[in-house]
Structure 1
Amino acid sequence: MTNDMTTGNPVKLILYFSIPLLIGNIFQQFYSMVDTIIVGRFLGVKALAAVGSTGSLTFLIIGFVLGLTSGFSVLVSQRFGANDEEGLKKAVASATVLSIVMAIIITIISLFAAKPLLRLMNTPDDIINSAYSYIIVIFAGTFATFFYNMLSSILRALGDSKTPLYFLIVASLLNIVLDLVFIVNFSMGVAGAAYATVIAQGVSGVLCFVYISKKLPILKLEKKHFKIEIEYIKEHLRIAIPMALQFSITAIGAVILQSAVNAFGSTVVAAHTAASKVEQLAVQPSVTFGVTMATYCAQNLGAGNIERIKEGVKKCTMINVIIGIIAGCLLVFFGESFIKLFVSNTDPKVIAYAKQYLFIVSFFFIPLSLIFIYRNALQGMGYTFVPMMAGVYELLARTLVAFTLPSLVGYAGICLAGPLAWIAASVPLILDYLKKINVLLNSPEEYSVNASS
């Protein structure tokens, strides 16, 4: 099933695409949330801290993978919007080859770098061994992450957000069962949670592959499509590498922030872990509309519908601002209830620190929601430099705040690092989008599906 987003009511199309994607994103969050809940309740606060201390490191590697696969799908979406079936198949084939090569390279690098990075992050001595046993399994399963995200990105590039949802539901339920079996029945500790995550994601990838093979003749590739064409390789890398770097730059900021959190000890690490999981769930609607913008803008750029891109981004911005306000209110009034999902003994210190984090960040969800819209809109149109640089500004702001404010205001300084970084990133993204869309509207000769930054 495909979905042409170049015709019809933009708001209806955006909502039609976004709702299944939102449900899918929420289920995808269950991969990490279920791990965290089960680990916290069955293995204790230190085990929860161990898994939490690897979160930013996981994002450093997995985020790079997500950036690459999202970048590879942009050209696919543009070719689909331009009704170029042969070009679409070549784009998919070249993306497949690049994904296999990059999966091998990233897996090798991450496995060797895991322990040194944990030490570099000042991971507390009482949790570092457990943290390593968790992260090494996640990194070893990088191919499963690549496999699922590449195939689901291709499906979304064609406007199909429902099929990946169905497979994620199956995988999420499998993840819950495997978590309980590996941790409770087999006593595998935190490594059991990691194995459950990797296996579940691998299953969702296999299901995507079977579906594409049987149901989408437009993606039936032949040997000729895998012939290396430098044009497609260069275009994929031109878009995907900056997107991957943007993810990794953001992740480096998270690693630096985690290092600052680690200095407060395992109790604060556990609190920050629980609060971060709640925050990630709360912002999923905003994330969803951002991902939708990438596909929407890419397809309409391929079709030459620049005015339609502007209309869709405007409407999606309004939706995301409202979502940001609602999400912030939910965390202010109900944050403690969500936090208690992660901690079995309702440790008062853990809950207090976690509530403080959620209270502070909830007031800054509007700039965060704008980042998702404008970053993805620019990337969908093929402009990747400023989104990457926005990640750099975010990194610099997060680092500066994380290592200055805590000495003045304690843990509250850690809580402010993210929000101030979101403001630093959102401003250049919005300004660059306004500049680029006006150029395309006022100078049609500037339009090209191979838009340069």
Structure 2
Amino acid sequence: MCYYNTGRRQNASCFYFSVKDDFDMKTEMDLTVGKVPTTLLRFAFPLFIANLLQSLYNIVDMLVVGQIVGSTGVAAISNASTLVFIVNAICLGVTTGGTVLIAQYKGAGNKQGQKDAIGTIYALTGVLAIIITIAGLATYRHVFSLMNVPIESLKDARDYMLVILCGTIFVFGYNATCSILRGIGDSIRPLIFVGIATVINVILDCIFVGLLNMGTVGAAYATVISQGMSFVISVAYLKRQNFLFDFKVRSFAVHPPIAKSVLKISLPTAIQMAVVNLSHLIIAAMLNMYGVTIAAASGIGLKINTFAGMPCWAIGSAMTAMVGQNMGAGQIDRTKKIGTTGLKINLLVTLISVVFVQLFAGRLVMLFDTSDPTVISAGIEYLRICCFWNSLIYAIMYSFDSFAVGVGAAPLAMVDALLDSFFIRLPLCSALSSFTMLGFKGVYWGQALSPIIPALIGGAYYLFDNWKTKKLADSDIA
């Protein structure tokens, strides 16, 4: 799946007015004070809504295309989205390092450190966006061939991906802005910016795909234009406010010590997220072998399951920022309590999501495709398996991994991701689908059971307390 201490402590249940270098609006939270459950939920809720709205980009694309183009269009976007997720994962991984470092500077009350970190993050993400765009344009056709994308959907998938890749700079810029705001304790403005983008995307989808009959490529144009407008609006707005970063050209500079600290978190996290989504690409290739109907059904199931995971990811993102601020402030006992509380809340909200999906599985699938009973049946089967066992086990794994990233132990989360996505999931999916009578359902079961061992590893790290001595930028924090 986007993301300050002014020297005075206040009740964390209240936002406080900014002074001098800060904002005029009451959007900043001090995550080092107040009751942990209340503070965590207050910070996480806007993140949840923002994640929900951001996921609507692709959901709306699939809904509109599914109703107008049909299952071939859904399969095209589903396959293209797997590659898009890898690009987005690299972006989110890189910007997560910024969130953690800025949160630790924030907890220590170091404003200059925050400013230098912001400039470094923008510069790094800008360069990376250009590299990813060039690499993506050079390889996406070959990747689709390796994925065995159904021939009926191949052209639409290529057209969709070409447009999306050309808008990569907007995705990276927007997520850099959101990660910076999360690090300083602001989860309101990311919600506003993604809300603007979502409204624009829905309107343009209806115009391009519905009125102008542009098909899947119209949905891609709608997504890129909406993301670009959201990024431009967010930067223009922050420039008008008394933000601690001035957005002048000279300020977009890489500070080597800060870049090193950011990359200590960003590289393992980017690898982690890219690996997870690369495994989804391989899983999609496995399911494509069963034909366009199963490919479409699995894509629909994945989208619904992703939607159900939004609360889990919001809590995890809030945990990372909150843990970062408290580690920067040296509040070890409170940091540990954040881990326990975050895990309990994550299991509860995930259980609620799972129950909802199980009760309305058929109706949810039919939102995307009502014409093919095989697609509906296979989509329901996906949700019965993956949006139950996998969701609950994954909530445990993700909570501990989010905690680890917040304290600066991103390599642990990367190892968990490698185990979950490659060394366990892929062999299990292959074995269950090839050597049992389960067929494509074996792929579903492989995905459902793969997070068990990584969840145990993350829990062990949390319990053994080695994280208590970690600090991301050492003496530079204060």
Range into which the TM-score falls when normalised by the shorter chain: over 0.9
**Greater helix fraction, Structure 1 or Structure 2:** 1
Q: 2 CA distance for matches of 1:227 and 1:21?
A: 28
Matches within 5 A, 1:32-431: 32-220=58-246, 226=252, 228-345=254-371, 347-364=372-389, 365-394=391-420, 395-407=422-434, 408=436, 409-431=438-460
Cα contact 1:138–1:195 (8 A) shared by 2 = yes
Instruction: Give the corresponding residue for 2:7.
Output: none
Amino acid across the alignment from 1:292: A
The 2-side partners of 1:247 and 1:272 are apart by 20
Separation in 2, partners of 1:351, 1:281? 18
Mark the CA change 1:265 to 1:447 in structure 2 (over 3 Å): closer, same or farther.
closer
**Post-superposition shift, 1:236?**
1.3
TM-score, normalising length: structure 1: 0.95
Per the TM alignment, residue 171 of structure 1 is displaced from its structure 2 partner at its CA by: 1.1
Q: 1:154 to 1:227 in 2, by over 3 A?
A: closer
Distance 2:381 2:249 in 1: 57
| More deviation, 395-404/81-90 | 395-404
Aligned residues of 1:74 and 1:298 also touching (Cα < 8 A): yes
Deviation at 1:376, TM superposition (A): 1.3
- CA distance, structure 2, for counterparts of residue 66 and residue 223 of structure 1: 24
Q: Within 2, Cα distance between the matches of 1:396 and 1:449? A: 29
**How far apart are 1:58 and its partner, in Å?**
1.3
What corresponds to 2:17 in structure 1?
none
More displaced 10-residue stretch of structure 1: 190-199 or 219-228:
219-228
How far did 1:362 drift? 2.9
Q: Supply the distance in 2 between the matched residues of 1:188 and 1:71 (Cα, whole angstroms).
A: 39
Deviation digits for residues 125-173 of structure 1, max 9, x if unmatched? 2211111111111111110100110001111111111111112112111
Distance 1:102 1:178, change over 3 A: same
Does 2:447 correspond to 1:450? no
Task: Call closer, same or farther: CA 1:36–1:87 in 2, change over 3 Å.
Answer: same
Distance 1:39 1:226, change over 3 A: closer
Q: Is the 8 A contact 2:181 2:187 kept in 1?
A: yes
Please give the TM-score of this superposition, normalised by the length of structure 2.
Answer: 0.90
Q: Partners of 2:270 and 2:258 in 1: how far apart?
A: 18
1:330-361, CA deviations, whole angstroms, 9 ceiling, x for partnerless residues? 2222111111110142x110010001010012
Q: How many Å separate the matches in 1 of 2:243 and 2:211?
A: 44
Q: What is the percent sequence identity of the aligned residues?
A: 31
CA RMSD in angstroms comes to 1.7
Q: Deviations over 1:75-119 (max 9, x none)?
A: 111111110001110111111111111111111001111000000
1:434 matched residue in structure 2: 463
Q: Counterparts of 1:194 and 1:44 in 2: how far apart (Å)? A: 16
The question of 1:2 aligning with 2:24 is answered: no
Distance 2:275 2:210 in 1: 37
* CA distance in 2: counterparts of 1:112 and 1:282, whole angstroms: 34
How many equivalent pairs are there? 445
Structure 2 regions of 5+ residues with no counterpart? Answer: 1-26
Residues 56-65 or 109-118, more deviating: 56-65
**Secondary structure, in 3 states, of the residue corresponding to 2:238?**
helix
Q: Say if 1:41 and 1:342, in contact at 8 Å, map to a contact too.
A: yes
